[in-house]
A and B are shown apart, each in its own frame.
Chain A
Amino acid sequence: MIDRDEVLHVASLARLALREEEIEPLARELSAVLDHVAKIGELDLRDVQPTSHVVEVTGRLRPDEPRRCLPREVALDQAPAISGGGFLVPSPQA
């Protein structure tokens, strides 16, 4: 069961603001889903390796050579605010 404090803690980890009226429904819905998925706790999974990749692959490395990338002005073109050729954000401390 997820309570109000846990919802607020997880929301802060997820950098998500919540309105007061969103907290209780989230606690209820997350609890219901977690109750359902908790059934996998009943399985005996000793000696089972976790999946790392579904299809057998070996690491593919490319030569470490410089390649063309997005021009700066294109990369900045979609930003909500820019300054001096970079992304502009508010100060970390108001």
Chain B
Amino acid sequence: MSLKREIGFVLNGVRTRATVPVEMSALSMLRDVVGLTGTKYACGEGECGACTIIVDGVSACACLMFAVDCDERTLTTIEGLARDPLGEKLEQAFVDCGAVQCGFCTPGMVMQAKHWLEAHPHPTRDDICRGIEGNLCRCTGYVKIVDAIEQTARSGPGRT
């Protein structure tokens, strides 16, 4: 029905090719074409951050990106943090600090925190709040999310 294009990108360290309709979002590609469902749809207009991924080192809402714009880029999703030292620390801190309730915002929150901590390794709590202000959480009231990011920062953000 619609025009399709074949694109290539590095996804979580793996060279990947996909054929996608030109109007498809990167979010739909990740979830429906590649089959990685850790990146969540919650608003579709870049207002909630649940679909946050890292594209060429910058955090982005996958719902706002066309899949075809992923061509020749390097993408990291929540699944890619399993082997990332900072990602692992963050995930563990989210667990230990009680930063997870329903969990739907959590992957996006962790992704944003990872991207943001890499640029701001010694943040204050206010800095952290600013860093995640584009990510909505309806359950936790954010306190424990900020705790988790702060604890991760204090422990040294994954630099070996």
A and B: bona fide binding partners = no
Residues of B at under 8 Å CB distance from A? none
Chain A residues at the B interface, C-beta cutoff of 8 Å? none
